[in-house]
């Protein structure tokens, strides 16, 4: 019988769904925080704040919390709009800080638990027309480090970020052209895009009891794309 509890934000997305599937395989009790009604078992509507705790998790404490939701866009400093920058920052950074503050306030995260935040390879680098997204993901790196220190001191919680490379998802196919996707594959030593399952396995590794001392890290999951230069 499952004894570990995990809370997943964004379980209805491609990456969140793969993470959900990995925890199902490991027989965890899974709770899903969603923005709109979902057919997923144990799903409930956001928000989670200091002032509001959904009734569905009143009697639950979590061994792991996964933030797999996010907001994406394409823009640059010349054509970008301030409101778009703020919208992306709100979705990728503020949503995490508010939910974490709420969970801590209501004592929903166990002593020694693990938190995993999905970021992006664009946390450490960038590409053309990716200003708002890059800015928000760079902030996620700072958030991971800050939370690792503060939550570690408060309750021994381990906090890490995952930086997926270009993942083979409908979103990637929407935001990148076929030639751009081919360029990524050709520049990746393994010769393939990262899959959602790769991300799910990585999130599980960091969120499970196998992780005993990794914290405050932003870990690339990209088949060595970021560090490789094919010449």
Distance of alpha carbon 146 from alpha carbon 160, whole angstroms: 10
The whole-angstrom separation of Cα 114 and Cα 64 is: 5
Residue carrying the six token digits 């990262």: 194
- All residues at 6 or more sequence positions from 157 whose CB lies less than 8 Å from its CB, including other chains: 109, 111, 112, 113, 114, 115, 147, 151
31 labelled catalytic: no
Are residues 146 and 160 in contact, defined by beta-carbon separation less than 8 angstroms? no
Catalytic site residue from 133, 148, 163, 169: 133
The residue written with tokens 């021994």 in the block is 156
> Which residues neighbour 206 within 8 Å (Cβ) at sequence distance 6 or greater?
114, 116, 158, 160, 162, 214, 219
φ and ψ at residue 17, rounded to 5 degrees? -65, -40
Backbone angles phi, psi at 24, to 5 degrees: -60, -45
Give the active site residues: 133
């Amino acid at each position: 019988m499952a004894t570990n509890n995990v809370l997943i934000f964004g379980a209805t997305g491609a990456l969140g769904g793969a993470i959900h599937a990995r925890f199902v395989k490991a027989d965890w009790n899974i709770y899903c925080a969603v923005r709109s009604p979902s057919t997923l078992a144990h799903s409930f509507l956001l928000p989670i704040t200091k002032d509001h705790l959904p009734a569905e998790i009143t009697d639950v404490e979590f061994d792991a919390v996964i933030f797999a939701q996010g907001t994406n866009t394409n823009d640059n400093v010349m054509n970008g709009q301030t409101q778009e920058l703020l919208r992306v920052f709100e979705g990728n950074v503020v949503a995490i800080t508010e939910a974490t503050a709420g969970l801590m306030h209501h004592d929903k995260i166990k002593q020694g638990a693990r938190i995993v935040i999905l970021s992006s390879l664009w946390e450490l680098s960038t590409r053309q027309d990716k200003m708002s997204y890059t800015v928000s993901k760079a902030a996620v790196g700072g958030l991971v480090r800050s939370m690792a220190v503060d939550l570690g001191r408060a309750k021994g919680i381990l906090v890490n970020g995952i930086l997926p490379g270009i993942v083979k998802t409908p979103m990637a196919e929407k935001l990148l052209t076929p030639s751009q996707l081919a360029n990524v594959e050709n520049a990746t030593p393994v010769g393939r895009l990262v899959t959602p399952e790769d991300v799910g396995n990585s999130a599980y590794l960091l969120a499970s009891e196998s992780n005993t001392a990794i914290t405050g890290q932003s870990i690339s999951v990209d088949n060595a794309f970021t560090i490789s230069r094919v010449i």
